[in-house]
Amino acid sequence: MKERATPRWLDVLWLIFLGGLALIPPVGELHKQLILLIIGIYQLLENQFLRLAGKPGPALAVLIKIALATVLINHTGEPAGAAINSDYYPIYYLPVMTAAMYFGPVGTLLWTLAASAAYLSNLYQAKQQFTITAGSISELLMRVLFFFFVAMTINRFVVQYRLQVQQYQAVSETLSEANRSLKLAREEAQRAERLAALGQLSAGLAHEIRNPLGVIKGSAEILTQKLGGADPLAKELAGYIYTEVNRVSALVSRFLDFARPSQLDLSAADLTSVVERCLKTVSSQGACARTKINRDFSAGLPLVMLDQDLCDQVFTNLLMNACEAMGEQGGDLWVRIHAVDEKDGEAGVVVEIEDSGPGVPPELKEQIFNPFVTTKKSGVGLGLAIVSKIVDAHGGHVKLISEARHGACFRVTFPAAAQG
Of 113, 132, 151, which residue is a domain's last? 132
Look at residue 392 and tell me if it is in a domain.
yes
Is residue 396 within 8 Å of residue 415, measured between CB atoms? yes
Is residue 91 within 8 Å of residue 66, measured between CB atoms? no
Q: Are residues 253 and 279 in the same domain?
A: no
Q: Are residues 292 and 368 in the same domain?
A: yes
Look at residue 209 and tell me if it is in a domain.
yes
Q: Out of 34-43, 102-111, 123-132, 363-372, which region has the weakest mean confidence (pLDDT)?
A: 123-132
Task: Check residue 332 and report its DSSP letter.
Answer: E
Phi, psi dihedral angles at 253 (to 5 degrees): -60, -40
Task: Classify the C-alpha dihedral 404-407-409-410 as positive or negative.
Answer: positive
Look at residue 170 and tell me if it is in a domain.
no
pLDDT in tens, 347-373: 889 999 999 888 888 777 777 887 777
CATH of the domain at 205: 1.10.287
Distance CA 53, CA 65 (A): 15
Task: Classify the C-alpha dihedral 62-65-71-74 as positive or negative.
Answer: negative
**Domains in the chain, number:** 3
In terms of average pLDDT, the best of 99-103, 360-364, 382-386 is 99-103
Q: Are residues 282 and 380 in the same domain?
A: yes
Q: Are residues 299 and 403 in the same domain?
A: yes
pLDDT at position 361? 80
Which residue type, as a one-letter code, is found at position 295? R
C-alpha torsion 283→376→190→183, nearest 10: 90
Q: Are residues 231 and 304 in the same domain?
A: no
> Is the predicted pLDDT of residue 136 greater than 70, yes or no?
yes
User: 33: domain range?
Assistant: 9-132
Look at residue 158 and tell me if it is in a domain.
no
> Is the predicted pLDDT of residue 170 greater than 80, yes or no?
yes
Is residue 367 within 8 Å of residue 380, measured between CB atoms? no
Distance CA 38, CA 32 (A): 10
Q: Are residues 324 and 226 in the same domain?
A: no
Interior/surface letters 316-342, b for 16+ CB within 10 angstroms, e for the rest: bbbbbbbbbbbeeeebebbbbbeebee
Percent of the chain with pLDDT over 90: 20
Q: Are residues 272 and 403 in the same domain?
A: yes
Q: Are residues 205 and 282 in the same domain?
A: no
Look at residue 61 and tell me if it is in a domain.
yes
Is residue 29 within 8 Å of residue 44, measured between CB atoms? no
pLDDT in tens, 207-243: 677 778 778 878 877 877 776 666 777 777 777 787 8
> Is the predicted pLDDT of residue 45 greater than 50, yes or no?
yes
Q: Are residues 35 and 102 in the same domain?
A: yes
Percent of the chain with pLDDT over 70: 83
Q: To 5 degrees, how large is the angle CA 235–CA 236–CA 237? A: 90
Look at residue 420 and tell me if it is in a domain.
no
- For residues 268 and 381, the model is more confident at 268
Of 259, 283, 306, which residue is a domain's last? 259
- pTM value surpassing 0.85: no
Distance CA 356, CA 409 (A): 9
Q: Are residues 305 and 197 in the same domain?
A: no
Look at residue 234 and tell me if it is in a domain.
yes
Is residue 357 within 8 Å of residue 322, measured between CB atoms? yes
Of 84, 106, 132, which residue is a domain's last? 132
Q: Are residues 274 and 326 in the same domain?
A: yes
CATH of the domain at 369: 3.30.565.10
Is residue 100 within 8 Å of residue 59, measured between CB atoms? no
pLDDT at position 404? 60
Per-residue confidence band for 111, with pLDDT thresholds at 50, 70 and 90 = very high
Distance CA 207, CA 214 (A): 11
Q: Are residues 286 and 398 in the same domain?
A: yes
Which residue type, as a one-letter code, is found at position 46? E
pLDDT at position 187? 81
Is residue 349 within 8 Å of residue 413, measured between CB atoms? yes
pLDDT in tens, 253-284: 766 666 666 678 888 999 999 999 999 888 88
Look at residue 146 and tell me if it is in a domain.
no
Phi-psi region of 300 (alpha: psi -120 to 50; beta: other; left: phi over 0): left
pLDDT at position 131? 54
Question: Looking at the DSSP assignment, which residues form a beta bridge with residue 355?
Answer: 333
- The mean pLDDT of the chain is 81
